[in-house]
Each structure stands twice: as structure tokens, then as C-alpha cells.
Structure 1
Amino acid sequence: MRTVMNSPGSSFWAGISSFPEKGTSTLSLFDIVNTPGVAADLSHISTPAKVVGYLPPDDGLKKALAGAEIVVIPAGVPRKPGINAGIVRDLATGIATTAPKAFVLVISNPVNSTVPIVAEVFKKHGVFDPKRLFGVTTLDVVRASTFVSEILGDLSLANKVVVPVVGGHSGVTIVPLLSQSSHPLPSGFAQDELDKLTNRIQFGGDEVVKAKDGAGSATLSMAFAGAEFASKVIRAANGEKGIVAPTFVNLAADKEGGGALKKEIGDDLDYFSAPVELGPDGVVKIHGLGKITEHESTLIKAAVPELKTSIDKGVSFIESSKL
């Protein structure tokens, strides 16, 4: 399998393509600087993957994408939405013209806008398949699991706790369904404590930025979360069944499930993060919210207008761009 990836905080990304007869994979990296060195570093890890790094000269982007089956885009400048929009647009154009059938995993923030940007670029090139485009919201799930395990006083549970997180991938659009946690919160957990926990999950990125004195944002935890989701997509593509993961998707990827979800949230949004069953062709089924509390319903109502604004910004950006 051939995978293409970017590095967070830059314009670097990568793709994967299969070589089943050799039993190996290729990881292609692309960035405006340093990619050969990063590739050399990664190539020393004991995996069956061949790692190649490309730079912009000599059609580096096209070479990185050639034959890619999965493309991961964590490219961009931390917390610079306008700059990231242009970077993601240009990368999406490269994918549309070189690897239009690839699964595309978008990490670049703001995901609520960058996923629609990729979709609109693909639509203009006539290659949009909503089943193969994903916004990676896994870090919200990872944070929720970790923070709940801290409250339970047992960090060994961190990789066992499962908390569905729906909505989007920024601030109030992040809605943790704590009532559905696989490991319930302590009995008597007060409303103010619930509010604090919810806020920490929603604004966990700010906690990292503050700890880094404004000199950076979440990169290591995001890399872990991105790898977790990419692994699930790869496993599903290889035929493993029953894999479900929250991800920000176009609800047209599953008209029945997406339509039912729109009724649950009470709005005709085109994109929403929800638990999604993955398969060889991408999205198999979009699951609904399940039984939620009045508190969680209020959080979703607060998320919807923010999501609408962010989605519209992404769409408008491409409508006003020259591709």
C-alpha cells in the first residue's frame, strides 16, 4: 500500500501505494523543505515500508501522489486558518488530478472548513466521492478518553475508555457524549464538574498552546490520533469488518444514515462528525447520536450555527478561488 503524509505545522504530506507481490508498502512524503531528511530518518524504522521524500522541484508533488491509495494532510501553519485554506486547496488540486481515487484524511485545521474546501475542489474536477473524504477528529476522542480516565483515577484505562465525540473539530462544535462513555463517570458527578470536563475536551488545544507559551500547538498527540485513524482506514480497506470511528464527513456519504442524523440534530447540515462504520470503499454507514441527555442536546444546538459558519467559509473560499 502507498501512503502519502504531511507533517503538522508545515506544508508536508504523504501518500501510500500497494506492492502486494513484494509484501511492502511505500510512504511518500512531500514538503517545501527538509523532506529527504525526514524520509531518511523514517526509513530506519523497522517496518516493511519504503520511504521516499519529495520537494517541489521536478514535479515532486505529482511524484509523491502517483499511485497513492491513502493521503493524509496535516499540512499548514498552526492556528492560521486563512493560510491553511490556501495550502489545503493546492494540495487538494494535486490529489484531484493525480490520485482522485485515494482516501483523503484531513487533519489541517480548521477541519470544519478544510474538509469542505477539499470537497469543493474535487467537485470542480468532477472526482468528488463523499465516501472517501474524512476529517480527522480522533484527537477529541483521545482527549475525552484520557481525561475521563484521569477522573476515574486510573490512567491504565486511557486506552480502554471510549467516549463518542460528535459535531465538529473546534471549540463548541466538539460535543463529547459523556453519558455514553464506556466507563461511566463517578456517581454524583456534579453539573459544574461536567461543564469543566466538557470545556476541557472542547478547548484541550488551548491547554497545549498555553503550556508551550504560545510557541506551538498540539503536534505529538495529534500525530498519535492521526495514526490511530489512518490505521483504522487501512484495516477497513483491507477487509476488516466492524470498524467504527468518529470522523467529520459529508453526510451524503450515507444518504440513509446521514438523512436520519440531520433529523436528530434538527438541521440540514452537509457535514457533521459522527461515529462512522468504515469499509473497503470508505464510509459504509453513518451512525446516529443514540440516546443523549438534555445537556448534550443543548451542546449540539450550540454547535450547529458554528458548524454552518465554518462550512460556508470553506465552500465560499473555493467559489472565490482560481484553481
Structure 2
Amino acid sequence: NMISNPVNSTVPIAAEVLKKAGKYDEKRSFGVTTLDVVRAKTFYAGKANVNVAEVNVPVVGGHAGITILPLFSQATPAANLPHDVIVALTKRTQDGGTEVVEAKAGKGSATLSMAYAGAIFADACLKGLNGVPDVVECSYVQSSITELPFFASKVRLGKNGV
């Protein structure tokens, strides 16, 4: 699992290094994008007036700015939020890291929320490795979903990785 930013670059570079060493396994190489999911869930819950623990919002694309694409149309529980609210939630999710840095006057970043997101993803990986069924998280992985070689999407985690 790679959690070091920039994830959109780190994961493909690590893949190439591991390929050259003969150690690359696309089913076991993950870029952690859980922080984007945590932000999308939190912001959505606030606007939908629901408990964040009950919310799920898939986030696809990448892990930087406009590459972060929260799929609020697939959020559960469903909320009939106006288009302008969805646009604002999307922008806030994409700019979440910048918002934190600005709030800290450039003297820090989202270290605690990143640690929280990392713990969520690590827990999901451990559940998958232990055979817990239907463990699904969003992650930046090698993909054939689009023309892009890597893409953040929902992945099912299991004993063999993705």
C-alpha cells in the first residue's frame, strides 16, 4: 500500500521499479485514496443531515485536485441534494487538502485525517487478507476501466489482494 503523495505519481513509479525487480503484483499494489472518501462522506453527511457513520460515497479518478471524482449520485443513504450543492461538495472534496493547509496558515497539513484514513484502509486490507467477505474500498490501482493505466475505483479486497 502506498500512501505517500503524490499518489497519482508514486503508484505508477513504484509499479515500474517493482516490475524491473521482477516483484510487481498488480493485485497487491494499492494507492491509498481513502482520505478523499472520508472527506466526501463527511461533507455529504453534513448537507444530507445524516450520521456520517451511515454514509458511503465512492470516489474515483485520482488523488489530486480535479482528478478526485466523488460519485455523490451513488452515495448512500440517497439524498435529493440540489445540483449546486453537489457541485460545491465536489469542489470541497477536491480542495480538501488545500483547505486544511490554508486553515493552518501553511504550517501543516491534514496529518491526523490522513492517519485516520490510512488506518481505515489498513483495517480493510487486513479484513480482506483474513477472508472477510465483501470488503470494498476505493483505491488507486492498475486498471483497465479507462484508457488510463491507473485509476482510483472501488476494489474488492481479499486473500489475494484485489
Q: TM-score range by the shorter chain?
A: over 0.9
In 1, Cα distance between equivalents of 2:84 and 2:19:
45
In 1, Cα distance between equivalents of 2:142 and 2:132:
23
1:241 Cα deviation from its structure 2 partner: 1.4
Give the alignment partner of residue 77 of structure 2, picking from 183, 208, 220. 183
Residue 118 of structure 2 aligns with which residue? 226
Give the alignment partner of residue 103 of structure 2, picking from 194, 205, 211. 211
**What letter matches 1:240 in structure 2?**
V
1:183 Cα deviation from its structure 2 partner: 1.9
Higher relative contact order (CA 8 A, sep 6+): 2
Kindly indicate whether residue 139 of structure 2 is the aligned counterpart of residue 247 of structure 1. Answer: yes
Q: Which structure has more strand as a fraction of its residues? A: 1
Q: Residues 181-206 of structure 1: CA distance to partner in whole angstroms, max 9, x if unpaired?
A: 10223x3x333222111100111011
Residue 165 of structure 1 aligns with which residue? 59
**What letter matches 2:134 in structure 1?**
G
Partner-residue secondary structure (3-state), 1:216 = coil
In 2, Cα distance between equivalents of 1:195 and 1:143:
15
TM-score (norm 2): 0.96
In 1, Cα distance between equivalents of 2:28 and 2:61:
19
Kindly indicate whether residue 30 of structure 2 is the aligned counterpart of residue 151 of structure 1. Answer: no
RMSD: 1.1
**What letter matches 1:167 in structure 2?**
G
Residue 131 of structure 1 aligns with which residue? 27
Equivalence map 1:74-89=2 (5 Å): none
> Larger Rg: 1 or 2?
1
Partner-residue secondary structure (3-state), 2:78 = coil
TM-score (norm 1): 0.49
Counting matched residue pairs gives 162
Partner-residue secondary structure (3-state), 2:35 = helix
1:160 Cα deviation from its structure 2 partner: 1.3
1:117 Cα deviation from its structure 2 partner: 1.1
Residue 3 of structure 2 aligns with which residue? 107
Residue 117 of structure 1 aligns with which residue? 13
The sequence identity of aligned pairs, in percent, is 52
Q: Residues 257-297 of structure 1: CA distance to partner in whole angstroms, max 9, x if unpaired?
A: x3xx22xxxxx2110000001111101xxxxxxxxxxxxxx
